[in-house]
Amino acid sequence: APVVRLEDYRPTDFLIDTVVLDIALDATATRVHADFSVRRNPAGRADAPLVLQGDELVLLSVTRDGVRLTADQYQADPQGLILPGPLPESFSLTIETMVNPSANTKLMGLYRSGGNYCTQCEAEGFRRITYFLDRPDVLSVYTTRLEAARADAPLLLANGNLVERGDIPGTGRHYAVWHDPHPKPAYLFALVGGTLDTLAEEFVTASGRKVEIAVHVEAGKRERAAYALDALRRSMRWDETTFGREYDLDVFNVVAVSDFNMGAMENKGLNIFNDKYVLASSDTATDADYAGIETVIAHEYFHNWTGNRITCRDWFQLCLKEGLTVFRDQEFSADERSRPVKRIADVRTLRTQQFAEDSGPLSHPVRPRTYREINNFYTATVYEKGAEIVRMLRSLIGPAAFRRGMDLYFARCDGTAATIEDFLGCFAEASGRDLGHFAQWYEQAGTPVVTASGQYDAAAGTYRLTLSQATPPTPGQPTKAPMVIPIVLGLVGASGDALPIATTNEATVDADGLFVLDSANATITFTGLTERPVPSLLRGFSAPVRLESELDDDDLVVLFRHDSDPFNQWQAGQTLATRLILAAMRGETVNTRFGEALGHFLDSDARNDPAFAAQVLALPSEADIARDIGRDINPTAIHNARLAVKRALGAELAPHLNALHGALQSSEAYRPDAANTGRRALRNAALDLLAAGDATEGAARATAQFDEADNMTERLGALAVLVLIPGAARDHALATFAARYGDNPLVLDKWFALQAGIPEEGTLDRITELARHPAFSMGNPNRIRALFGSFAMTNATQFNREDGRGYDLIADTVLALDARNPQVAARLLTAFRTWRVLEPIRRGKAEAALRRVAATQGLSPDVSDIAGRSLE
């Protein structure tokens, strides 16, 4: 595939103002009749031909201004249609195409899922339905008429409002006409046809507009749609109160399908979801699933303003909608649940996904400058780091100016296809600040490392804090400039008091403790101190950087026990635990006093905020430790050291953990609210740690919890502990679980995932066996992610086996999947993204597997792009 460059952007030569579609749904031969009103774009080239994109299309006819064109009047193949001209300033164009939804295994364009019809058009799927100017800066008003056999598809949905429906007498067929008055790019087009159960209610917007909000699920699953509908209602209200954004159509439809490449899609007025992010009941979904549903429902809904009303000029601006919308969904969940716990969870994701991506060959700027395959840029960098940039912007200019900037953005850019410059311009204007330097965050890849060192002068009562920053080189960016890094800080006394902040230059640290590091080095001199302070830096994780500070273990214990910033309190615990694990890797035993501090914490604060305590109890992951070490990684050595520390802590804290595990049991009916979710999270975390300390006692408690649980969170929490303890109890629990949920693929995914994550030699054979299980299918992305994705992304010791068989398994799976579903295959291949930091033997094996993939003939652009960049 050719390289697409941001610098080559130019407007289209034509615009398409209206699109009228008449689509006769058929499982293997769907006819698409498309009427376009086309005009020359004043910003385009005069006399240019009309070049439309297609993808695997069968063309039936082309008609211009009512006259059917003969084959010599256009050039067409499955991938494009050109009208050479001369062409008038404006004209009507009618194109008839034929598509086969049943043969569409890529799940892009129009396809079948669970016997229903659905579409996925982002990023370039509309061109698989009809020839079009398939790019986000071409905005059109769509009218869609759908027709189908009533028995085949009783429900017919498209974007916008329903304007007409009826039977076609004597045919057994019916139709529905939908009109969307809001101009939109083709990637937001959607239709659904099929047999679906509906759960609906009325939502009245702040200004009194009545909206029907509905969730449609596969037949028989309606009662599992209630939480999604509730989350939708709460999201709509939150966007009104927090950002003044109201919904703008008469209906808002959400449809859940079981075959879906990603999480969900924000099509205008007709969101289509992976059913994993819709279906939930206490018996089938964990608290984490409920939280995921809430977040994804909110995310797609929030796109209505950040993505749909204001869309992207080109795909390089993807973070304009994705980073901003992730920020908005994070804020929503923080408001609905616990803000600190949400922040910790988000930072965990950022570090495991984005920091890993940014430290390897797939590193790219939040706004990339080139791509070969845009589907490969729906990344943690664009999404999560993109959200961090918006968060930093708010910290820098303050919440009031931030809100003014958002208001200005909505007012000024509504109805347009915008750029990052348009977005930042609104905040510069609203705050009166120059954001030119800050904009570097969109351009420069890599994770900045901030180094802090301090000097206390008791006689002078001063503390000199020196901060410096450096960003390691990334592909195509060998040298880096200093960034604008907001560092929120505080000073803590030995007994835990917050010390007053006064500096020699009062402007440097503001009342909220914000210091802006915008050069390579800076020094802050704090004055008026009567004791040596412990600096608490990067509070709330105020910037997506790696912080290296020279705090000793005692300082960290002070922060762990007393920091008023919950994020840094948690971080201090993580750092202490990391030190224990690193010492274990060196064969040393050290006493960081972490066990003692944790015991104290479990007896005091933990019960006040169980959700937070659960985060504290979860040791740094193997990936966290690997990131800390940075090179010559031996995942088995990390696993063993971490396990040794976990065992020791589990044994040391056994009395506390046993007491907690018992006390946190509840006989009340299941509710997925924040308080009960926190309680169950802590109970599961306590069980996990105590089972590490005492496998016999742990297995007994886990078995009892597994048998007694009346909800999936505790059942799965117990099973997750049991799968780590080989023996009859594990085999029995796995069999019981499979028997109970044999007819529920989404629940069986949890069973696949847990087994794929077992850090044992035998897991490879177990996976081969599970791939033959009747519930497994290479045609369903959720199954692939559950079995192979979990193995590659979470089972560090077995994926990175020294014999290379883990790499081969994933390489073989990628190759087997590529022709069927390149998008999912390419994503699976990103499991190799940190291969260069492995120790030499594993590095060699990983490279060989990657080279084998890269050398395969006939690769999709998706897989070839990831393989190629991974090896660069």
The residues binding Zn ion (CB under 5 A) are: 322, 325
Tell me if 703 contacts ligand HT7 by CB under 6 A.
Answer: no
Q: Which sign does the torsion angle of CA 637, 643, 649, 651 carry?
A: negative
How many Å separate Cα 833 from the centre of its chain? 17
Beta strands 80-83 and 75-77, pairing class: antiparallel
> Contacting ligand HT7 (CB under 6 A), which of 322, 373, 609, 818?
322
CB atoms within 10 A of CB 29: 13
CB-wise, 302 or 570, nearer to ligand HT7? 302
Residue 160 C-beta: closest distance to Zn ion, Å: 20
Tell me if 189 contacts ligand HT7 by CB under 6 A.
Answer: no
609 binds, among ligand HT7, Zn ion, none (CB under 5 to 8 A by kind): none
> Contacting ligand HT7 (CB under 6 A), which of 133, 265, 716, 748?
265
Tell me if 294 contacts ligand HT7 by CB under 6 A.
Answer: no
CB-wise, 322 or 357, nearer to Zn ion? 322
Is the CB of residue 86 less than 8 Å from the CB of residue 115? no
Tell me if 300 contacts ligand HT7 by CB under 6 A.
Answer: yes
DSSP string covering 806-855, please? HHHHHHHHHHHHHTT-HHHHHHHHGGGTTGGGB-HHHHHHHHHHHHHHHT
Is the CB of residue 701 less than 8 Å from the CB of residue 689? no
Total residue length of the chain: 872
793 binds, among Zn ion, ligand HT7, none (CB under 5 to 8 A by kind): none
> Contacting ligand HT7 (CB under 6 A), which of 13, 266, 287, 565?
266
CB-wise, 91 or 243, nearer to Zn ion? 243
Q: Backbone phi, then psi, for 511, in 5-degree steps?
A: -65, -25
Start-end of H helices in 496-634: 553-562, 566-585, 594-603, 610-617, 622-629
Is the CB of residue 831 less than 8 Å from the CB of residue 808? no
CB-wise, 120 or 860, nearer to ligand HT7? 120
CB-wise, 14 or 327, nearer to Zn ion? 327
CB-wise, 264 or 753, nearer to ligand HT7? 264
CB-wise, 14 or 111, nearer to ligand HT7? 111
Q: How far apart are CA 49 and CA 691, in angstroms?
A: 69
Q: How far apart are CA 817 and CA 778, in angstroms?
A: 7
860 binds, among Zn ion, ligand HT7, none (CB under 5 to 8 A by kind): none
Beta strands 116-120 and 109-113, pairing class: antiparallel
Q: Which of 624, 647, 619, 651 is nearest to 635 (CA)?
A: 624
Tell me if 336 contacts ligand HT7 by CB under 6 A.
Answer: no
- What is the identity of the amino acid at 266? E
Query: Going residue by residue from 371 to 390, which x/- string records binding to ligand HT7, judged by CB under 6 A?
Result: -------x------------
The helix/strand/coil state of 509 is strand
Residue 341 C-beta: closest distance to ligand HT7, Å: 23
120 binds, among ligand HT7, Zn ion, none (CB under 5 to 8 A by kind): ligand HT7
> In this chain, which stretch among 189-197, 204-212, 257-265, 650-658 interacts with ligand HT7, using CB under 6 A?
257-265
Give the binding-site size for ligand HT7 (rule: CB under 6 A): 13
CB atoms within 10 A of CB 583: 16
Residue 350 C-beta: closest distance to ligand HT7, Å: 16
CB-wise, 124 or 322, nearer to Zn ion? 322
> In this chain, which stretch among 256-264, 492-500, 795-803, 831-839 interacts with ligand HT7, using CB under 6 A?
256-264
Whether 322 is catalytic? no
Tell me if 123 contacts ligand HT7 by CB under 6 A.
Answer: yes
Residue 264 C-beta: closest distance to ligand HT7, Å: 6
Q: Which residue among the candidates 218, 300, 331, 357 is catalytic per the annotation?
A: 300
**Omega within 30 of 0 (cis) for the link into 123:** yes
316 binds, among ligand HT7, Zn ion, none (CB under 5 to 8 A by kind): none
Is the CB of residue 326 less than 8 Å from the CB of residue 384? yes
Is the CB of residue 49 less than 8 Å from the CB of residue 121? no
> Contacting ligand HT7 (CB under 6 A), which of 53, 94, 119, 261?
261
Contacts (Cβ under 8 Å, ≥6 apart) of 476: none
261 binds, among Zn ion, ligand HT7, none (CB under 5 to 8 A by kind): ligand HT7
Q: How far apart are CA 791 and CA 755, in angstroms?
A: 9
Q: How far apart are CA 9 and CA 5, in angstroms?
A: 7
> Contacting ligand HT7 (CB under 6 A), which of 262, 344, 681, 695?
262
Beta strands 161-168 and 490-492, pairing class: unpaired
CB-wise, 683 or 827, nearer to ligand HT7? 827
CB atoms within 10 A of CB 687: 25
Copy the structure tokens of residue 741.
């949920």
> Which residue has its beta carbon closest to ligand HT7?
262
Tell me if 19 contacts ligand HT7 by CB under 6 A.
Answer: no
Tell me if 299 contacts ligand HT7 by CB under 6 A.
Answer: yes
* Strands, E assignment, 234-342: 251-257, 264-265, 270-274, 311-312
Tell me if 329 contacts ligand HT7 by CB under 6 A.
Answer: no
Copy the structure tokens of residue 194.
């099929």
Residue 794 C-beta: closest distance to ligand HT7, Å: 22
- Catalytically active residues, by annotation: 300
List of residues contacting ligand HT7 (CB under 6 A)? 120, 122-123, 261-262, 264-266, 299-300, 303, 322, 378
